[in-house]
Amino acid sequence: MTTINKKKMTSFRTYLEELFPVAHFQLDYTHDYELVIVVMLSAQTTDKSVNLVTPTLFGRFPTLKALKEAPIKDIEEAIKTIGLYRNKARHIKNIATIIDEEFNGVVPSESELLMRLPGVGNKTRNVIQAELFNIPSFAVDTHVMRISKRLGFAKEKNQPDQIEMILKGLMKPQFYNKVNHQMIMFGRNICLARSPKCQICKMKNDCLYFLKNQK
């Protein structure tokens, strides 16, 4: 099965390259610490929603010091249009405090240090390492999870950390970061959660979802 899936992944990567030759990070940020915050904010909401609130957030609190000293209510006000904004406001303040006071204002590259930041789990850590440090990583979001299961790379019962390891085993590390972005774009534009565009997808004959719904 692994050999079959490796061949399928090679075909899929070729198709992704055809569709999205330029694939990159979609969230807006200027400073490294802002990246940590925007990725944390993107949990359970869209990148578009995050990009709408961050100009206000970072405009009102333009430094780590300003963020760590900001009243929670003011941070909540700046991001209130996104999901879970109250919890995320606390995370922002605590992230800024830890980076400023414990990490000397520098976002670390080490996994164990990144995971100490509030709201930073495996997915967020992988995004930070890939974007800031070009460390080969694979962040499994809802798009990547859906596509992996539909194409048979992963099983329905597989969790994100399991899917991450499966996908990493199907390609060389130098492909991780770009393919990760390409799969997310594929999920947003072709392999939609509802009403996927199967008829125009070149992977449909390898897709469990398409084959099941053809019966």
- Residue of 93, 123, 178, 204 marked catalytic: 123
> Do residues 116 and 165 share a domain?
no
One domain, residues 47 and 123: yes
Does residue 131 have a pLDDT over 90? Answer: yes
141 counts as catalytic? yes
Q: Using the predicted structure, report yes or no on whether residue 52 has a pLDDT greater than 80.
A: yes
Are 78 and 148 within one domain? no
Instruction: Report the C-alpha gap between 182 and 4 in whole angstroms.
Output: 21
- Segments forming the whole domain that contains residue 167: 2-23+138-214
**Percentage, residues of the chain above pLDDT 70:** 99
Together in a domain, 153 and 126:
no
> pLDDT digit string (tens) for 136-151?
999 999 999 999 999 9
Q: What is the pTM of this model?
A: 0.90
Point out the domain boundary residue: 105, 133, 161. Answer: 133
Are the C-beta atoms of 120 and 113 separated by less than 8 Å?
Answer: no
Whether residue 215 is predicted with pLDDT greater than 70 in this model: the reply is: no
The reported pLDDT for the residue numbered 196 is 95
The pLDDT score that the predictor gives to residue 88 is 97
Q: What is the pLDDT of residue 1?
A: 61
Flag whether pLDDT at 3 surpasses 90. no
Domain boundary among 79, 105, 133: 133
Same domain? 9 vs 45 = no
Point out the catalytic residue in the list 47, 141, 149, 168. 141
Which DSSP symbol is given to 115?
A: T
The pLDDT value recorded for residue 2 is: 77
DSSP letter string over 33-50?
Answer: HHHHHHHHHTTTS-HHHH
Kindly state whether residues 93 and 18 are assigned to the same domain. no
Give the CATH number of the domain where residue 12 resides: 1.10.1670.10
Domain CATH code at residue 72:
1.10.340.30
Residue 71 CA neighbour count, 13 Å, CB half:
3
Lowest mean pLDDT among 23-27, 77-81, 89-93, 193-197: 23-27
Residue 119: pLDDT over 70: yes
Provide the 3-class DSSP secondary structure of residue 95. helix
**The dihedral of CA 198, 199, 200, 201: what is its sign?**
positive
Predicted local confidence at residue 44, as pLDDT = 86
CA distance 35 to 89: 15
Note the pLDDT of residue 213.
85
Average pLDDT of the residues in 154-173: 96
Per-residue pLDDT at 118: 96
Average pLDDT in the 31-40 region? 97
Do 127 and 142 lie in one domain? The reply is: no
How many domains is the chain partitioned into structurally? 2
Residue 130 and residue 139 in contact, taking contact as beta carbons nearer than 8 Å: yes
Of 73, 103, 133, which marks where a domain is finished? 133
Picking from 64, 131, 57, 134, the residue whose alpha carbon sits closest to that of residue 88 is 57
**Distance, CA of 117 to CA of 24 (rounded, Å):** 24
Indicate the average pLDDT of the chain.
95
Average pLDDT of span 127-139: 95
Helix (H) or strand (E) holding 139: none
Phi and psi angles of residue 29, each rounded to the nearest 5 degrees, phi first = -160, 160
